[in-house]
């Protein structure tokens, strides 16, 4: 991601460079050796914390800004660098007397000193410092405009006042935090992931990183956030429509593959609920991107009549390690070793609480009964659903040897009814299908409109139906590093 660091060594310099700090026992120990080197060779000493140290060496360079240490990857002090015509030829870290003698060509160097002493950590690698230095010295320039916060101003209240929040507190997107987020991907900060609806604004990696920070994401989550944003920008998903409809829909993020365990996502107990940082913040980051980059705010293009809590962010992982069926990602054409994100335009969660079915035929009919009520019990073919099968319900199908394809077939059969039962006006209900469909057999969902995943805790005979919006197609994209 970052460009190659610019050297601070003059092209005509030949000699030695020592980087030290007073707050290092080894650096203080070898002060006599540094003074000896200064008398016998071209030596440049840079002090990270005190330009008067070492006192016995003249011309110490003030390195408190740490630019040289950052640009030349100083991780340990003391560091001794041999330079010929502006190019580094060799480097030593810590104090190894024989090595220093060999590098400098001074066989008596440090005669009265111990033969070995380990160094200390460079100030340039202290926690948070690499990000600060990267921003300060321009190796990873941030293009976003900086917003200055007055000394007496509450930065959290400022973000609320500027309309950046979804109603919950945000993490201030400081340069250091944004740079740390950007370091989690090899992609350029200026790369455009997609055009963010509804305002159709280019969504750069940098802009998305800022919103991921505000959402509370760890840098390790960032590749998942990028994939989710990429998916939301696909025409098939129709993110503008997901916002503009008066329905309850929001992008639901379903994650598959090795990255689930790598970043600690929840696929077990309370999988659709609170408590897991990755699940909660990845979904929130996508929604903040749509809000802050794309302009999708409630009351504006977001015209949901009632909305639902998942519009803050809705993300979970599929339980793959002990699943009897192929995962959602594999079913949609990806390899088991690929990490993916699937976006589904979903609404609320409806429980299926069948505590008695021990046969797949009975359980399938129970699931179908709830699925038939999605959106409305008399609306067929114009909506989608996501069915989340819990481990205890999965066991029923496993013990009977039913494949996912067989379950789908049984569900389709149980959800297909005579049109005469669901046309407008039947049962005294004005809502319903057009009268000309009364003589046809109708299936609840369009082809591909029902997604099935395995997730949840090991106890409890519960599954869930998440309602969908039929104006969007589910999309799946691979997660890049």
pLDDT in tens, 101-144: 999 999 999 999 999 999 999 999 998 888 788 878 866 567 77
Q: Which pLDDT score, from 0 to 100, does residue 1 have?
A: 43
Apex 368 CA angle, 322 and 466, nearest 5: 65
Q: Which pLDDT score, from 0 to 100, does residue 138 have?
A: 67
Number of domains in the chain: 2
Only one residue has tokens 């030596």, namely 43
3-state DSSP call for residue 61? strand
Q: Do residues 67 and 210 share a domain?
A: no
Cα(430)–Cα(378) distance, integer angstroms: 10
Cα(163)–Cα(187) distance, integer angstroms: 29
CATH number of the domain to which 86 belongs = 3.40.30.10
Report, as an integer, the average pLDDT of 316-329: 96
Residue 3 in any domain: the answer is no
Cα(211)–Cα(154) distance, integer angstroms: 19
Cα(423)–Cα(256) distance, integer angstroms: 39
Residue 3 in this model has a pLDDT that exceeds 50: no
Q: Which of 165, 160, 134, 137 is nearest to 149 (CA)?
A: 160
| Distance (Å) of CA 335 to CA 154, 219, 459, 478 | 48, 25, 29, 10
Q: Do residues 105 and 187 share a domain?
A: no
Q: Which pLDDT score, from 0 to 100, does residue 140 have?
A: 59
Residue 7 in any domain: the answer is no
pLDDT in tens, 378-424: 999 988 999 999 999 999 999 999 999 999 999 999 999 999 999 99
Q: Do residues 466 and 419 share a domain?
A: yes
| Residue 481 pLDDT grade (very low, low, confident, very high; cuts 50, 70, 90) | confident
Q: Do residues 116 and 218 share a domain?
A: no
Eight-class DSSP state of 468: E
Cα(232)–Cα(461) distance, integer angstroms: 33
- pLDDT, mean over the chain: 94
Q: Which of 87, 89, 69 is nearest to 79 (CA)?
A: 69
Report, as an integer, the average pLDDT of 312-320: 98
Report, as an integer, the average pLDDT of 62-78: 96
Q: What percent of the chain has pLDDT over 90?
A: 89
Q: Is 66 within 8 Å of 133 (Cβ atoms)?
A: yes
Last residue of a domain, one of 103, 125, 147: 125
Q: Do residues 117 and 167 share a domain?
A: no
Last residue of a domain, one of 125, 142, 177: 125
Report, as an integer, the average pLDDT of 459-468: 95
Residue 392 in any domain: the answer is yes
Residue 131 in any domain: the answer is no
Residues 280, 383, 371, 401, Cα dihedral to 10°: -80
Residue 463 in this model has a pLDDT that exceeds 90: yes
pLDDT in tens, 196-232: 999 999 999 999 999 999 999 999 999 999 999 999 9
Residue 147 in any domain: the answer is no
3-state DSSP call for residue 8? coil
| Residue 314 pLDDT grade (very low, low, confident, very high; cuts 50, 70, 90) | very high
Q: Do residues 175 and 109 share a domain?
A: no
Report, as an integer, the average pLDDT of 252-276: 97
Q: Do residues 203 and 104 share a domain?
A: no
pLDDT in tens, 40-68: 889 999 999 999 999 999 999 999 999 99
Regarding predicted confidence, which is higher, 136 or 240? 240
| Distance (Å) of CA 71 to CA 6, 133, 137, 138, 334 | 6, 9, 9, 11, 41
Q: Do residues 374 and 270 share a domain?
A: yes
Regarding predicted confidence, which is higher, 145 or 75? 75
Q: Do residues 288 and 389 share a domain?
A: yes
Residue 186 in any domain: the answer is yes
Q: Do residues 231 and 277 share a domain?
A: yes
Q: Do residues 259 and 112 share a domain?
A: no
Residue 352 in any domain: the answer is yes
Residue 49 in any domain: the answer is yes
Q: What is the domain range of residue 189?
A: 157-478
Q: Which pLDDT score, from 0 to 100, does residue 2 have?
A: 41
Task: Determine if the pTM surpasses 0.95.
Answer: no
User: Which alpha helices (H) appear in 191-267, and where do they start and end?
Assistant: 205-215, 222-232, 239-244, 259-262
Residue 97 in this model has a pLDDT that exceeds 50: yes
Q: Which pLDDT score, from 0 to 100, does residue 310 have?
A: 94
Q: Do residues 163 and 118 share a domain?
A: no
Eight-class DSSP state of 413: H
């Amino acid at each position: 991601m970052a460009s190659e660091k610019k050297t601070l060594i003059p092209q005509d310099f030949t000699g030695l460079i020592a980087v030290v700090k007073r707050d290092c026992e080894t650096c203080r120990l070898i002060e006599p050796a540094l003074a000896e080197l200064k008398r016998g060779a071209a030596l440049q000493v840079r002090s990270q914390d005190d330009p008067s140290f070492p006192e016995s060496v003249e011309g110490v360079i003030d390195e408190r800004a740490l630019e040289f240490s950052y640009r030349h990857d100083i991780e340990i002090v003391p560091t001794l660098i041999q330079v010929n015509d502006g190019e580094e030829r060799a480097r030593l870290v810590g104090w190894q007397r024989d090595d220093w003698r060999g590098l400098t060509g001074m066989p008596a160097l440090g005669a009265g000193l111990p033969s070995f002493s380990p160094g200390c950590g460079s100030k340039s690698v202290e926690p948070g410092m690499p990000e600060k230095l990267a921003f300060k010295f321009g190796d990873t320039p941030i293009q976003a405009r900086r917003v200055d916060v007055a000394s007496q101003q509450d930065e959290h209240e400022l973000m609320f006042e500027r309309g950046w929040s979804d109603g919950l507190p945000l993490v201030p997107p400081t340069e250091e935090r944004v740079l740390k987020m950007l370091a989690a991907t090899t992609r350029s900060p200026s790369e455009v992931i997609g055009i963010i609806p509804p305002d159709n604004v280019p969504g750069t990696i940098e802009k998305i990183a800022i919103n991921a920070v505000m959402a509370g994401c760890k840098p390790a989550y960032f590749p998942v956030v990028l994939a989710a944003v990429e998916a939301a920008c696909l025409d098939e998903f129709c993110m503008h429509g997901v916002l503009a409809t008066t329905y309850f829909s929001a992008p639901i993020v379903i994650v598959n593959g090795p990255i689930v365990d790598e970043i600690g996502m929840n696929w077990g107990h309370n999988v659709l609920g609170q408590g897991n940082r990755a699940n909660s913040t990845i979904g929130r980051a996508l929604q903040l991107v749509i809000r802050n980059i794309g302009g999708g705010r409630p009351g504006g293009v977001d015209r949901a009549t009632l909305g639902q809590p998942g519009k803050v962010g809705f993300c979970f992982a599929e339980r793959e390690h002990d699943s009897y069926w192929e995962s959602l990602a594999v079913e949609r054409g990806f390899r088991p070793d690929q990490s993916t994100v699937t976006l589904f335009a979903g609404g609320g969660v409806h429980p299926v609480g069948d505590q008695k079915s021990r046969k797949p035929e009975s359980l399938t009919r129970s699931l179908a009964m709830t699925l038939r009520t999605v959106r409305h019990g008399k609306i067929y073919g114009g909506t989608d659903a996501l069915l989340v099968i819990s481990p205890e319900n999965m066991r029923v199908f496993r013990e009977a040897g039913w494949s996912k394809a067989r379950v789908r077939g049984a569900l389709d059969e149980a959800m297909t009814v005579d049109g005469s039962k669901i046309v407008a006006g039947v049962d005294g209900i004005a809502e319903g299908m057009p009268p000309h469909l009364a003589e046809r057999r109708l299936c609840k969902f369009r082809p591909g409109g029902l997604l099935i995943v395995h997730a949840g805790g090991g106890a409890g005979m519960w599954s869930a139906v998440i309602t969908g919006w039929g104006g969007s197609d589910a999309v799946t994209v691979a997660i890049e590093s």
